Chains A and B, each alone.
Chain A
Amino acid sequence: MRGAYAGPAERGAIARAPLRQPHRSRRRNPLLLALTLPRINEHMLSAVVAAVHPSAGAELAVGAKLVDLTVDLTAIAAQDCPPVSHFRMVVRERACLRELAVAPVNEIAVGTRIALFSTDPHELLDAEPVRELRVAIAGILMQAPAWSGGGR
């Protein structure tokens, strides 16, 4: 007697099944998506926006640069050598940037909304976002000396 093992016949059946529906974000069922500042480092309370790359209305491809952030743990770390790190967020799914809530040099708390996105550029913004935009975070190098930029 056979158990739950899916033998060749079943696998063939699966292979012949109709193609899956496209992901819901690609259907004519637009979604509103939010991006809020995640807790990149467990000790961080906030981050400073170093750069915002796209403008509102931009249609972003996978891999598009979103924002650069500086996380400064000076206030938390009881030491003279504070970890100051720089991060870039890039998008991992296609989306249209609808509203930007931050600008360079803004210091924003963890959980603060950075931007609002939609999968359809014409989607009305009168509903709550259904989820967070999928992003990737990478540590980046400071491109200029901090003191010439006016801060840590």
Chain B
Amino acid sequence: MSLVPLRLGTLAVAGYDVVRSGVRWLRDEGHACRVGELVAYCNLRLAPTASAPAGAAPFAEEARDFQVGLATRVGGRLHRAHDASRGGFIDRLAEHTVWMPNHVIGHVQCRPSERPAGVDPDGETLELMLVAGRRVTEIAEDRSGFLTGWHDRVRAWWGEGEAPVGTLLGYGICEQLGVFRGESPAFADWFGAVAGPAQVVYVPDNVLVPCAAVVADQCRRTADEAEAIRADVTHSIATGPVVPTPADWMFVSALISALLRSPLTERCDVPMRRGLAQADVPDAVVLSLNAEPPGILRHRRLGYRLQCHAYRMSDAGPAVRSWIERDFEHVARSVADIGCDFRALADRVRERTTTALLVMNTRSTSGFETFHSYAPFDRPLGNMLGSVRAKELNLMLHDLARERNVSIVDNDAIAAELGATHLPDGVHNSATMQAELRREILHILRGRGIAGFAARPSR
């Protein structure tokens, strides 16, 4: 048996010192590690040196929640270095320890024959999965774990070499949460499946529901229009008939902040092993057909579209509900209307980028229904029965796939194959189903030739 040291390896950004916290372990002493398993992580900070370039620091919006996951390239028994972790704030704050490439955080005990060939013949250098979260508000601090906190965008990236980083964005409703973040630790499932250099980004639907109309507005909104919305919201709520509570202000701040961003056209700084790169706009985005409601809000004066989950609105606060009732109209949307929204979005995206559009379709049957005839229900059935509307939406998506080269992530077929117990309410899926959806997304990305998402070599 031999002891393979787990070395940090190079992580350098010109003009900055990479400073780290102590190591927080994800696996126990003596744990039998698999090749590529994330065993530990620490917090990172880029501290400017005298040669730091002028201007804003790299990824300033995410600087406080910047971490690195550390994965062993060798399978075997984990032995942690006794001085890698001191606990408490020493392991939470990136303040006291400069990143040293030769630093060893522990060892893996294995047979000599189990040392891998390839990029690191000795298997001593840890593989890095870097992650960052953009806080909804900087006061939402939570350093308790790996990528913990209240974020309006989280992302992870990894890979070696100088190739551009392929970026996949998940921008749907909660059915995508487990698909994109995966089981603990966050993004580990993508990291385990994809060679990179790749980046996976997830934008949650905590306040804003990213239906096609809202996303299209985000893509085309100018700075002046954004400022007009910001000013109008502030004035309307502050001077409205209902006195706003703190809950109202917090809710509307998060909502408008999410509305005025555009995840589909954002570019991200990506610190890699040997320097800072910039990932272009996403190479692919996964949207959710389940984000398309039968009705949407449209601002009466400014015309922008808005959509929130109904269950969120009941928690929003009285002044926000009053604002919505005063300033917005409820616009019913047929399946054809939703199809038009998707076409407009696809055309808008194609004008500017080559981002591939993937859409998760919706489960079209329900295990809770017992009817045998459509006769008792008002026409058009798609406006009345959820399962009929779902079928019509799925069919519309096939038209869209032909007309606009949209790829369908066939949630409906996967649910049918796995069985109702994996998708009991039509939205909240099991871990098995999430894994299947990830495989399906990767299958589509590879079929489209999107760089960075090739499978890892078998280990």
Contact = CB atoms under 8 A, between A and B. Distances in A.
B377 to A, nearest CB: 7
A152 B314 contact: yes
Contacts of A74: 311
B372 A40 contact: no
Contacts of A65: 376
Interface stretch (A3-11, A24-32, A77-85, A118-126): A77-85
Main secondary structure on chain B at its contact with chain A?
loop
A63 interface: yes
Nearest to B386: A139
A137 interface: yes
B455 interface: no
A81 to B, nearest CB: 4
Contacts of B309: 81
B369 interface: yes
Contact of A84 (B310, B321, B371, B377): B310
Interface string B379-402: 000011111010000000000000
A138 B377 contact: yes
A63 B376 CA distance: 5
A73 B368 CA distance: 14
A83 B385 contact: no
Interface residues of A, number: 37
A71 B330 CA distance: 23
Interface residues of B, number: 37
B174 interface: yes
A81 B386 contact: no
Contacts of A42: 424
Interface string A73-112: 1100101111111111010100000000000000000000
A50 interface: no
A85 B310 contact: no
22 contacts: A63-B373, A65-B376, A79-B428, A80-B206, A81-B174, A83-B425, A83-B428, A84-B311, A90-B376, A137-B368, A137-B370, A137-B371, A139-B386, A140-B384, A140-B385, A142-B294, A143-B294, A144-B295, A145-B295, A145-B313, A145-B330, A148-B325
Interface of B: 173-174, 206, 294-295, 297, 309-311, 313-314, 316, 321, 324-325, 330, 366, 368-373, 375-377, 383-387, 389, 424-428
| 10 nearest CB pairs, A to B | A146-B310, A63-B376, A136-B371, A147-B313, A83-B425, A139-B386, A90-B376, A81-B174, A138-B371, A137-B370
Interface of A: 40-42, 63-65, 73-74, 77, 79-88, 90, 92, 135-148, 151-152
